[in-house]
Amino acid sequence: MIKGCANRGDIKQALHYLNLMIDTYNIKPNLIIFTSLLSVCANAYDIKNAELIWNKMTNDLNIDIDIIAISSMLNMMKILNYSQRPEKFIPINEIICTTIMSGFLKANKVKEMFDFYDNQIPKLDLNNNIDLTFENNEKIG
């Protein structure tokens, strides 16, 4: 039912179904439900509820955030042209960096992609001991 609300961008109805699920049927939402709710938020252009859903999702110890959930949040941010930095919501690793940079390029935001690269890749190098040198010992970043 919630997934059906995504096509229409009907966040009010989707949240009604979520409340029914939790309050009436005592069913705890899973990753699929949260990801569907993020899609509804994207189609409804509703960043406020998307942030609330994302925070609930990331604070639930029973939910393992996967690349699909992260892509849903990034897609929602792209659709809304949200100016907050993605790393505010999403922990940065190599896969996420690649996804975010691809998103910037698809949106034709080359300057933002390079800004992100300049700010995040050195942090990855520090956190993960990634060797960012070319064969001629020239370091990138």
pLDDT at 129: 52
Mean pLDDT in residue range 34-54: 89
What does pLDDT average to over the chain?
Answer: 80
Q: What is the pTM of this model?
A: 0.64
Residue 102 pLDDT level (bands cut at 50, 70, 90): confident
Nearest-CA neighbor of 80 among 114, 51, 53?
51
First to last CA, the chain: 46
In this prediction, residues 34-62 reach a mean pLDDT of 89
